[in-house]
A and B are shown apart, each in its own frame.
Chain A
Amino acid sequence: DSGVTQTPKHLITATGQRVTLRCSPRSGDLSVYWYQQSLDQGLQFLIQYYNGEERAKGNILERFSAQQFPDLHSELNLSSLELGDSALYFCASSPIGGAYTFGSGTRLTVV
């Protein structure tokens, strides 16, 4: 157990639907990151939050949004889902300037 908890582990949904992925960071870590890993692709950075505020944005689609709550857990919202959104979504947390600790990921399948 890495200390970073992601739920659900698996999600199957239809095109056009909306889903919410949840992440609880490791205790004490203020930064949360979301990454997408599609088939044969590396880890693509989506977005970073630090202590509730958006810190950096990567290749995140407009259909996707995220937030970090006062208790530091984070949610990634994916809407108007397309087949190409099927991927592994990882959350990671870190202390300031430190290495990331990743969760085990949510596997999203859009059918």
Chain B
Amino acid sequence: DQQVKQNSPSLSVQEGRISILNCDYTNSMFDYFLWYKKYPAEGPTFLISISSIKDKNEDGRFTVFLNKSAKHLSLHIVPSQPGDSAVYFCAASMNTGNQFYFGTGTSLTVIP
């Protein structure tokens, strides 16, 4: 049972434009969400997080939005750069459990 879903396996965006990666979850008990970026042959690296008490968190070019009523979060990258080309995973946890459930990933390609 996939509790965290990333329905777009891939996304292509022109350099300088906005990249929007989406993630949906089914468990209303999730209250902490992360985005990870993964390059080939490397482990995932932490990108940005958001707690359920917020609806937005920003870090430089990266912004994560959380819509709790829709059980949806999104990652915005503005402006997109070729170095952003990677697979992006969203993950969710129930704070007490500390176990993160990961989506299947979205492969982002930023075209120069």
Contacts and interface: CB of A to CB of B under 8 A. Distances in A.
Interface of A: 2, 4, 6, 31, 33, 35, 41-45, 48, 55-56, 58, 90, 92, 94, 96-97, 99-105
B99 to A, nearest CB: 5
Interface stretch (B44-52, B64-72, B75-83): B44-52
Say whether chain B's binding surface is mostly helix, strand, loop, or mixed: loop
A43 B95 contact: no
B112 interface: no
Contacts of A58: 99
A6 B95 CA distance: 27
Given A43-B89, A99-B49, A4 B43 contact: yes
B28 interface: no
Contact of A102 (B45, B95, B101): B45
B100 interface: yes
Contacts of A103: 43
A56 B98 CA distance: 10
B103 A42 contact: yes
B34 A31 contact: no
Given A41-B104, A42-B103, A42-B105, A97 B43 contact: no
26 contacts: A2-B43, A2-B45, A6-B43, A31-B98, A35-B102, A42-B2, A42-B105, A43-B44, A45-B100, A45-B102, A55-B98, A55-B99, A56-B97, A90-B44, A92-B43, A99-B34, A99-B49, A100-B34, A100-B36, A100-B91, A100-B100, A101-B46, A102-B36, A102-B43, A102-B44, A103-B43
Nearest to B90: A42
Given A90-B43, A102-B36, 16 more contacts: A2-B43, A4-B43, A31-B98, A33-B100, A42-B2, A42-B89, A43-B44, A43-B102, A45-B99, A48-B98, A55-B99, A56-B97, A92-B43, A100-B36, A100-B44, A102-B43
A43 B100 CA distance: 10
B59 interface: no
